[in-house]
Amino acid sequence: KQEVTQIPAALSVPEGENLVLNCSFTDSAIYNLQWFRQDPGKGLTSLLLIQSSQREQTSGRLNASLDKSSGRSTLYIAASQPGDSATYLCAVQGGGADGLTFGKGTHLIIQP
Amino acid sequence: EAGVAQSPRYKIIEKRQSVAFWCNPISGHATLYWYQQILGQGPKLLIQFQNNGVVDDSQLPKDRFSAERLKGVDSTLKIQPAKLEDSAVYLCASSSDRFDTDTQYFGPGTRLTVL
Question: What DSSP letter does each residue of B17-47 carry, written as one string?
Answer: --EEEEEE--TT--EEEEEEE-TTS--EEEE
* A46 CB within 8 Å of a chain B CB: yes
Backbone angles phi, psi at B72, to 5 degrees: 70, 20
Cα–Cα distance, B105 to B35 (Å, whole number):
12
* B1 CB within 8 Å of a chain A CB: no
Task: Determine the pLDDT at residue B82.
Answer: 97
DSSP state of A9: S
Cis amide leading into B81 (omega within 30):
yes
Taking residues B23-46, report their average pLDDT: 94
Nearest to A49 by CA among A17, A94, A93: A93
**Contacting B residues, span 38-67, partner chain A, CB-CB under 8 Å:** 40-45, 48, 50, 55-56
Q: Is the pLDDT of residue B111 over 90?
A: yes
Question: Pairing between strand A56-59 and A62-67?
Answer: antiparallel
Lowest mean pLDDT among A94-103, B9-18, B44-53: A94-103
Confidence of residue A96 (pLDDT cuts 50, 70, 90): low
B61 vs chain A: nearest CA distance in angstroms?
Answer: 17
Cis amide leading into A14 (omega within 30):
no
Q: What is the pLDDT of residues B78-98, one digit of tens each?
A: 999 999 999 999 999 998 865
Across-strand partners of A22? A7, A74
Residue in chain B lying closest to A100 (CA): B45
Q: Is the pLDDT of residue A73 over 70?
A: yes
Residue B70 DSSP SS3:
helix
Task: Determine the pLDDT at residue A35.
Answer: 97
| Cα separations in angstroms, A50 against A18, A39, A93, B13 | 21, 22, 10, 40
Among the partner residues A43, A99, A105, nearest to B42 by beta-carbon distance: A105
Q: What is the pLDDT of residues A12-68, one digit of tens each?
A: 999 999 999 999 999 999 989 999 999 987 889 999 999 999 999 999 999 999 999
| Cα separations in angstroms, B11 against A8, A11, A27, A29 | 32, 31, 37, 38
Nearest to B34 by CA among B92, B79, B88, B75: B92
Q: Is the pLDDT of residue B100 over 80?
A: no
Q: Is the pLDDT of residue B99 over 80?
A: no
Kindly determine whether residue A43 and residue B103, on different chains, have CB atoms separated by under 8 Å: no
Cα–Cα distance, B45 to B18 (Å, whole number):
21
Q: Is the pLDDT of residue B110 over 60?
A: yes
A78 vs chain B: nearest CA distance in angstroms?
Answer: 24
* Length reported for chain B: 115
Task: Determine the pLDDT at residue B1.
Answer: 63
- Determine what percent of chain B is predicted with pLDDT higher than 90: 80
From chain B, pick out residues whose CB is under 8 angstroms from the CB of A96: 99, 102
Cα–Cα distance, A58 to A47 (Å, whole number):
9
Confidence of residue B101 (pLDDT cuts 50, 70, 90): low
